[in-house]
Structure 1
């Protein structure tokens, strides 16, 4: 996609004056960034004033934006070698997840080379910086001074953003957060166990838990937005100098009627990797994901920030969806036919379980395209991003939310 970014900055003539008032230089900030373990693309020039360096987009938050599952190009039942070309960590003789996740393969943050911000290559900015970490909650975003906590050996993300804001000219901050506060992982685990072990539904009791938690979660998401603004303000940025893009979550599983495997039997477990009853899948796709998206949009409205709705981004590309297929030796990985989300590996034979139910390499390329489109839209716009059936990741498009 191509789009104009003219008019994104306001009062450019005052930018130099603001930058001159900042005391931290990019040289100091780059050193700090190295200590904090940032994932950076592009390097600021030595000695540049804070905020006057290369333009940048920053991503913050959890696994859905960090790049979890970026190792995989579709799903395959083959457990050896390259797994029919799906495993990007295959070296030809062994598996090396650092080929995809870099050093974060070691601490589990799993910031992949195809993560949303890294895939947003058409924005025209000079640097794309990923601060997100798989498993992060809102408390891992807050500054330490505001109750934020370190996670997986890394300082709170807002504190790390301060170093980036000083060294770069930050144009936008994309934020995905709240899912772990709400208990996404435990919900998926419970629903899978209810299918495999207990032969019961999960949606009724899990909906009660979601309703009980969601108000507090949204309050903390709002605080995360405030924390980003506080950091940017302290670095000398005005509200018109950058934008915040708060985004929702895509559904990794399809509705029951859109599942290509029979509800009974074991094909959903051992072949498809989607062990969920139809009623539970319908609840997740048509109730849980929309509920969270609508509430996140409410936060975006209240805080006056941009909202990117991803609830339908994986439609037809989900794990077990009728519109997609498993990868085989005869059917190689393809963005047009393969699934865009990582399945649940019930046998534990292909990579860590934490990769399950996340957008994979193709899904992340699609997310990057969505971010590019959102970047071209107005700084307070509310848009939903969808894929085009039968097209690759370049077929993503935005529509305005009412």
Structure 2
């Protein structure tokens, strides 16, 4: 080919490339979603009173009734007692009384607070979230706190065990709960996907509930001094109620490919009032009354809110188990006594 022809051909190729480079430089591609590469690594807790720290005291300012916010997020909550290597920041979005709708994506407010999933989005945008722990479901159809309240009422009235009327419908309540928990978990997945995360870039953990009471309470505490519940009701809560609830939550977790931590045995021998004269051995609050709150009309309805929830030691122990679980690779595990009086996570394959 003649040299002039080759030169002309080269120009035909180079000029369009130059034009393309000019267009690209003038119109930059949008930055990919997700946090910056140097963003702090974060762990997030979501859910209800079990996760917020209800019963553990030392509630964060603004969550102890101020301006109508009764979320009761405690500095002693499980998530604040969980240690994960590399995590720089911990966020607790949980709120006492929250149900699945309030954990998921919704425009409704609960305790004056926005949807937990919407708040997660803001956190995931500026932090690299690697762990999300969720405890939810008890405040949906099972209405577990109402069950305990009814059982206390049954003790007052000296009638038959309150749970005798629940047995036939409890499984149905749990079954109706499952799709609601599943939706909340899928909403969390959607938020993380929208913020540029893949399912493998973070660990989504769902935990069940521990029984706060058990039969065998000393007679002098089976009253307003400790645990005003009938023996049959305490046995049902421990042996049936929390077990069926756990099966439902496990099903929801499996459907969204989340990890699952079973707490049904976590409180064994440490339930409220089982310590008798030694309450320090208990990991759950006994009947707790805020007498100062009873004198305040705006607080009176929350005077019993802390009753039968994990106390600070209970949250410490579950945090120990959760730390163990997150440090391993098991998809499912149970919190059980390690033989020294502390909890550890035992995988389903062990």
Q: TM-score, normalized by length of structure 1?
A: 0.72
> Could you say which residue in structure 2 is the equivalent of 1:44?
none
> Could you say which residue in structure 2 is the equivalent of 1:178?
137
> Could you say which residue in structure 1 is the equivalent of 2:25?
none
> Could you say which residue in structure 1 is the equivalent of 2:281?
338
> Could you say which residue in structure 2 is the equivalent of 1:381?
331
**Which structure 1 residue ranges, 5 or more long, are not aligned?**
1-18, 24-48, 72-98, 328-336
Measure, in 1, the Cα distance between the counterparts of 2:85 and 2:231.
40
> Could you say which residue in structure 1 is the equivalent of 2:164?
204
Cα gap change, 1:215 to 1:270, in 2 (>3 Å)? closer
Bigger mean CA deviation after superposition, 357-366 or 273-282: 273-282
Secondary structure of the equivalent of 2:206?
A: strand
Q: TM-score, normalized by length of structure 2?
A: 0.82
1:148-187: CA deviations, max 9, x gaps? 5211111100000000110111011100000011211110
Measure, in 1, the Cα distance between the counterparts of 2:187 and 2:323.
24
1:268 to 2:222 alignment = yes
What is the aligned counterpart of 1:227 among 168, 187, 190?
187
**Which structure 2 residue ranges, 5 or more long, are not aligned?**
1-29, 294-302
Cα gap change, 1:388 to 1:276, in 2 (>3 Å)? farther
TM-superposed deviation, 1:398: 1.3
Measure, in 2, the Cα distance between the counterparts of 1:291 and 1:53.
40
> Could you say which residue in structure 1 is the equivalent of 2:118?
159
Measure, in 2, the Cα distance between the counterparts of 1:110 and 1:103.
9
1:345-383: CA deviations, max 9, x gaps? 3x65377311111101111111211221121122x6100
Cα gap change, 1:140 to 1:207, in 2 (>3 Å)? same
Structure number, greater radius of gyration: 2
RMSD: 2.1
Alignment of 1:210-289 (within 5 A): 210-254=170-214, 256=215, 258-259=216-217, 261-262=218-219, 267-271=221-225, 273-289=226-242
Aligned residues: 307
Structure with higher RCO (Cα < 8 A, 6+ apart): 1
Measure, in 1, the Cα distance between the counterparts of 2:119 and 2:63.
16
TM-superposed deviation, 1:325: 4.2
Bigger mean CA deviation after superposition, 131-140 or 112-121: 112-121
